[in-house]
Amino acid sequence: MLRETERLGLIGAVRINKLENEGQADLEGVMSGAPHAVFLPHTETTDQLVALDAALSECERLHGIAQGTTEIVPTIESAKGLVALGALLNVSPRIRCCMLAVEDLAANLGARRTPEGRELLYARSRFLIECIAANCVAIDLPCTYRSAGALAAELDLSTQLGFTSKCVVFAEHVDAVNRALTPSSDAAANARATLAAYDAQGPYADGSAWIDAPERNNAKRLLARYEAFQGDR
């Protein structure tokens, strides 16, 4: 199945258990399929990542996989993991992405879960900052409410914070997440119009039609992301 996803241009990824909790057996069972990435849950220490890096190197050797090509994606599910994130992300060049969990994290923090998610706002913001500082893709926590309204609000907050990648636990959320994170051609056209209006406005433009710098900056970011997606096709 993993090789089939590669043939189709998709990314094969596998979540294993921690190495001390049968994760080694998980690796032995999946590495023959040459997954692109291995997700490590409950990552809290650099020792966990050093051990997984070494285990992957051995598996790559045994299965004829190019050394260092299997990515490690740490999953942060506790306060301990979050405060250690800066060090964790610099353990190995295999680490190019990192994911933030939600329910185990909330339980560890003793947070009362709500659809609005205010209880995890600081954790998400800190996670994103640490990932950006380490030049690592930050995968935002999944929405574990099945309400369409809760998902819409969650996606609005996620993109407002600056996330460009998000985990999904319910199949019915995939389309909404893809729409929220992939700029449409209409959105790109609107961004170009905003940039043109900003450049054309004079110092005495009508205040009701004034394009402010934050709007200009948002339009530039959206257009850059749109063009990046077009270049990948």
Answer yes or no: is pLDDT of 134 > 60: yes
Share of the chain above pLDDT 90, in %: 86
Q: What is the pTM of this model?
A: 0.88
Average pLDDT over residues 197-201: 89
Answer yes or no: is pLDDT of 3 > 80: no
pLDDT at res. 229: 87
The residue ranking higher by pLDDT, 205 or 7, is 205
11-20, 48-57, 80-89: the lowest-pLDDT one: 11-20
Domain ranges for the chain: 2-181, 185-232
Q: What is the 3-state secondary structure (H, E, C) of the chain?
A: CHHHHHHCCCCCEEECCCHHHCHHHHHHHHHHHCCCEEEECCCCCHHHHHHHHHHHHHHHHHHCCCCCCCEEEEEECCHHHHHCHHHHCCCCCCECEEEECCHHHHHHHCCCCCCCCHHHHHHHHHHHHHHHHCCCEEEECCCCCCCHHHHHHHHHHHHHHCCCEECCCCHHHHHHHHHHHCCCHHHHHHHHHHHHHHHHCCCCCCHHHCCCHHHHHHHHHHHHHHHHHHHHC
Answer yes or no: is pLDDT of 154 > 90: yes
Answer yes or no: is pLDDT of 8 > 80: no
Given the candidates 3.30.110.40, 3.10.20.30, 3.30.70.600, 3.20.20.60, the CATH classification of the domain at 2-181 is 3.20.20.60
